[in-house]
Amino acid sequence: MDGIETATDSLERHKHLKEHPEAHHARRMALLIGILAAGLAICEMGEKSAQNDYIARQIGVSDTWAFYQAKSIKSEIAAGQAELLGALASTSHDAALAARAKAAEAKAAREISDPAKHEGKAQLMQQALRQTVARDHQLHRYHLLEIAVGALQIAIVLASVSVVTEIVAFGLVSLGLGVVSFLGGIAVMALF
């Protein structure tokens, strides 16, 4: 009796497999979707980091340019004060006014260039320009990671479409796009 039951079970199992083949493709695509989702999460972390770095650098650039503008105003006021005091000192021949005029000239010169403290207009302009380059680099990095994230999202959609339609080509395109996108995102995070 055991042999007949085993044979019957085997026939029923083969009939079931013939009617409902195992979904190896769906399992593979589910695994691919999981891997792509993990890659997406990693690239999104890099994207957010680049975005935060860009915002922080933008704030620094704005602060430095504001400091530069304040120094510019202060230097113009000091130069005007020196000119006025110098004119008054020359007409009145007052030594105290002449000394105050010289002090105002020195202050105006320090506002324009102060290599000792690195807070003159000239030094602030150079600092702001360096910060602008660093900020723009972060923006470029952010945009590249944004492209990688978008491509990974498309790869996940293609893998999902492959499961639903059982078209293997969608899965292969998804795999290729996912690999290229993930490696590109990692390269941007590591090299830029």
* Whole-number pLDDT of residue 39: 97
At 114-153, the pLDDT tens digits run 999 988 999 999 999 999 999 999 999 999 999 999 999 9
Task: Check whether 76 has a pLDDT greater than 90.
Answer: yes
Query: Domain spans of the chain?
Result: 25-191
Share the mean pLDDT of the chain: 91
How much is the pTM?
0.76
C-alpha 89, offset from chain centre: 57
What is the per-residue pLDDT across 10-49, written as a single tens digit (0 to 9) for each?
667 667 656 666 678 899 999 999 999 999 999 999 999 9
Percent of all residues in the chain with a pLDDT value above 90, rounded to a whole number: 76
Phi, psi at 21, each rounded to 5°: -65, 150
Phi, psi of 23 (to 5 degrees): -95, 70
